[in-house]
Structure 1
């Protein structure tokens, strides 16, 4: 039997078990949507909990706000990360003003703040607008290549 991982569907939140060799492709067994859309997963408070706690892939969450200029500058970088790390990392976005309880729980004081989660726990965080190369290097330092 091959090794497999739990992957949370970005569309319906269902937990899917995928063989490691299929990570990066595949559709949800419940709703049929792609499990790896190649774009950041949009989270709210309830979807945040499920994605972070149930995914067996690392999850990088961008805490941002609509009015934040640096956050808007980072959006293309996050889009690219979602494509480049498909099947190895879940790239997600959480708008802080729509999820104040989550933002408060993680002490978000400046945005953008990126938090890397693994196994439901915070591993590391970075704040501020950063170039894609620096984010990629930071992820590599955590074994995500």
Structure 2
């Protein structure tokens, strides 16, 4: 088991390192004081997205969505419920593909909603379409 864990603050982008044993205690960002692991879904910008998907020790699942997308809005509460259920093993975030189209282009996103699971700086798996919380949890567990 690893001694320390590295996480990017999904709010300010600061890299943080803390003892793995303190994971359940709710570590906070050294710069802005936000909880690094709280079971919430965090909105990302393009810079935070890139840092977190490439550098974090804890898996991250990102919901690629847009405000005009009905299935995206329908899935949002289910995604949040899955985030609460998996709060100590995986972080959850979302990024607006309308606001950050370069992310969509670079990742070759052709349809939304799309979930991409990242671990150890690499894309692990993709899941397209709106899913219930149980389906999202199952997808994460299956690939980690």
Q: Same fold (TM over 0.5)?
A: yes
Task: Say which SS state the counterpart of residue 53 (structure 2) adopts.
Answer: helix
- For 1:138 and 1:35, how far apart are their aligned partners in 2? 22
User: Deviation at 1:141?
Assistant: 0.9
- For 1:28 and 1:85, how far apart are their aligned partners in 2? 20
Task: Say which SS state the counterpart of residue 143 (structure 2) adopts.
Answer: coil
Task: Say which SS state the counterpart of residue 91 (structure 1) adopts.
Answer: strand
Task: Say which SS state the counterpart of residue 108 (structure 1) adopts.
Answer: coil
User: Deviation at 1:100?
Assistant: 0.7
User: Deviation at 1:85?
Assistant: 1.5
- For 1:137 and 1:38, how far apart are their aligned partners in 2? 17
In the alignment, structure 2 segments of 5+ residues that lack a partner are none
Contact kept? 2:65, 2:94, Cα under 8 Å? yes
What does residue 43 of structure 2 align with? 42
Contact kept? 2:65, 2:95, Cα under 8 Å? yes
Contact kept? 1:23, 1:88, Cα under 8 Å? no
TM-score, length-normalised on structure 1? 0.91
CA-based RMSD of the aligned residues comes to: 1.3
Deviates more, 1:111-120 or 1:79-88: 79-88
User: Deviation at 1:53?
Assistant: 1.0
- For 1:14 and 1:31, how far apart are their aligned partners in 2? 8
User: Deviation at 1:44?
Assistant: 1.3
- For 2:89 and 2:16, how far apart are their aligned partners in 1? 15
Contact kept? 1:39, 1:91, Cα under 8 Å? yes
What does residue 14 of structure 1 align with? 14
1:87 paired with 2:88, answer yes
TM-score, length-normalised on structure 2? 0.92
Q: Any runs of at least 4 consecutive aligned residues in structure 1 with deviations exceeding 3 A, and if so which? A: none
The size of the alignment, in residue pairs, is 142
What does residue 55 of structure 1 align with? 56
- For 1:7 and 1:45, how far apart are their aligned partners in 2? 17
